[in-house]
Amino acid sequence: MHALSLGTWWIHITSVLEWMLAIVAVQRFGAERGEAGWRWLALAMLPALVSAMAACTWHFYDNNTSLKGLVVFQAALTAAGNGALALATWNLLRQQRLRDAE
């Protein structure tokens, strides 16, 4: 665990916890509004969470080159997560426009 300073570890860990809290908050917000699109947004946030956990795992093992596959996995999850978030956001916008048209 020597690859990162204590301050950097603090930022990594609190960012993961914050993202988890944000997923719960988005899901609850959607439930209160009765809008299913928010659940999709919360679900779309999961790949980014797993990506962050993969990055923390790699750093935990001092960026060991034998875990290079974990870095590729993390990058793929980041790309998939960004795409999922874009689609979920587009879906929310589409649903809002449909509601406004009624």
CB 52 within 8 A of CB 11: no
- When computed from its CA atoms, the radius of gyration of the chain, rounded to whole angstroms, is 17
Average per-residue pLDDT in the chain?
A: 94
Across residues 11-30, what is the average pLDDT?
97
Which amino acid is located at 98 in the chain? Answer: L
Domain count, the chain: 1
Residue 4 has pLDDT above 90, yes or no: no
Half-sphere CA count of 42, side-chain side, radius 13 A:
17
The pLDDT value given to residue 1: 61
Indicate the residue type of 61: Y
**Domain that includes residue 37, residue range:** 6-101
Query: Is 87 contained in some domain?
Result: yes
The answer to whether position 1 is within a domain reads no
Has residue 29 got a pLDDT over 90? yes
Q: pTM for the complete prediction?
A: 0.90
**47 falls within a domain:** yes
- Residue 77 Cα to chain centre, angstroms: 9
Burial of 5 (0-12, 13-18, 19+ CB in 10 A): exposed
